[in-house]
Amino acid sequence: MGRIEKCRLALPAMIAAWLVILCTATPVLGETKPGRWDKEIEAFLEADRAKAPKKNRTLFIGSSSIKRWETLEQDFRSSVGTVIRRGFGGAGIQDATRFADRIILPYKPRQIVLYAGGNEIRRGASPEGIATLFDAFVKRVRAELPGTRIAFVSIKPSPKQWANAAKIKQANQLVREYCSDDMRMDFIDVWTPMLAADGKPKPELYVADQLQLSAAGYAVWTAAIKPVLAANSRAYYSSPERWESTIAAFEEADKKQPPAPGGIVFIGSSSIRGWKTLKQDFPGHPVINRGFGGSEIIDSIHFADRIVVPYKPSHVVLYAGDNDMSRGKTPEIILAHFKQFVETVSDKLPEARISFITIKPSLSRWKLAGKMSEANGMVREFCKTNDRLEVIDIWEPMLGEDGKPRRELFVGDGLHLNAKGYALWMKVVAPHLARR
């Protein structure tokens, strides 16, 4: 069983260790009286009886920051479609868990966004206690909705609760680490963008009580949350039908000459499609070129069941993300889509290695260099969590002494590779194929 499967079945080792310690030595503080929300929960149920929410939506649940988010539905409609809001003031993570069978599970949401934990910290819970409570929430949801994505919005900073800042930061870090081991989980950082240059909360993000969010505060949250949710939404799929003829041609060729199992599939955008010398460049390796120009990571996900999985490869090499960036996708979306690609391939090919060729620097898209480098770094960190994943770095080798892309590696458009460019790629990629 590969590490991905183990991560799905077992707790991250660090969390598991905390659970043992906490259950035997440290009580989880911050307990609430669930009866205090009977009226609010019943109001949700009454609304559901009057008009049942559709399944497969995005559900926001948590404390007052969710309850008071009156523009939430309109803030996310264009990116993720209709959302369900189930916030009840003063609630904690354990309350979301307690009411899951009434206001979470019946909706069968595609993804859940949880904001809670601040109230538990205020009532004395430790950072480790927050991680334990979140683990219990995840287990409760996953028991009945194993395919649902779960996003944890970091506990926010606030002037009123600034005395607890150190504990909150530690709790956020523990939950971040927990989420990093599961491809169906996201950690959304709202702590960092809510701080001013002096490292303290920006006053304009709060109403008079210095705890609840103002309109400006919710705007910051929307900017932080939307890219992550959109990455998991059908709204962020391109139009895969545009490549149907190309994919059908691959399938027709496969019928005439089926690739042998155990090969190496190169899939991705035009940098793969244009690698005409792929087989000659890697003699002795059973490489299969399945590049289709203009594609994004999400398109490789869409067609994986047709042009990756049937070949039963031992190794999959992906180059994509370049077009994603040029069309406005953020580093967070690149990471989320790569996670989905890994999940899609690994579900059917649990032993296959997966390599991500870093988004390349190019003359025509150099203005995106900062975001591209950030995306590459995020994917690199994710790949460290699994020994079947790796990053093949072609970013640095393609830069000259001036720190900019080497012009001699590109054709006239400053984007696509010429023979020298592919020769460089061959040199960088070859050692990774030898590790089969």
Q: Where are the beta strands (DSSP E) in 165-295?
A: 185-188, 264-268, 287-291
> Which is more confidently placed, 188 or 24?
188
Domain co-membership, 282 together with 389: yes
Q: Determine the structural domain holding residue 193 and report its residue range.
A: 3-236
Q: Of 299, 421, 293, 271, nearest to 359 (Cα)? A: 271
pLDDT at 63 over 60: yes
- What type of residue is 15? I
Q: Are 41 and 103 in contact (CB under 8 A)?
A: yes
Residue 405: phi and psi, rounded to 5, are: -55, 140
Domain co-membership, 216 together with 334: no
pLDDT score recorded for residue 332? 83
The pTM score is: 0.61
Q: How confident is the model at residue 31 (pLDDT cuts 50, 70, 90)?
A: low
- The Cα 348–Cα 354 span in angstroms is 13
Average pLDDT (196-214) is 97
Q: Are 86 and 66 in contact (CB under 8 A)?
A: yes
pLDDT score recorded for residue 26? 43
Mind listing the pLDDT tens digit for each residue in 366-417?
Answer: 999 999 999 999 999 999 989 999 999 999 999 999 999 999 999 999 999 9
Average pLDDT of the chain is 90
Average pLDDT (286-291) is 97
200, 216, 236 - which closes a domain: 236
Average pLDDT (13-29) is 47
pLDDT at 72 over 70: yes
pLDDT at 5 over 80: no
Question: Could you give the percent of the chain with pLDDT greater than 70?
Answer: 89
Domain co-membership, 230 together with 301: no
Domain co-membership, 214 together with 148: yes
- The Cα 76–Cα 232 span in angstroms is 13
pLDDT at 46 over 80: yes
Domain co-membership, 70 together with 192: yes
188, 220, 236 - which closes a domain: 236
pLDDT at 436 over 70: no
pLDDT score recorded for residue 27? 44
Domain co-membership, 422 together with 328: yes
How many domains does the chain fold into?
2
Domain co-membership, 214 together with 274: no
Q: Of 340, 406, 346, 415, nearest to 379 (Cα)? A: 340
pLDDT score recorded for residue 28? 52
pLDDT score recorded for residue 12? 47
CB-side neighbour CA atoms (13 Å) of 106: 12
Domain co-membership, 224 together with 280: no
Residue 128: CATH number of its domain = 3.40.50.1110
Domain co-membership, 181 together with 283: no
Domain co-membership, 199 together with 316: no
Domain co-membership, 231 together with 256: no
236, 265, 298 - which closes a domain: 236
- The Cα 253–Cα 7 span in angstroms is 37
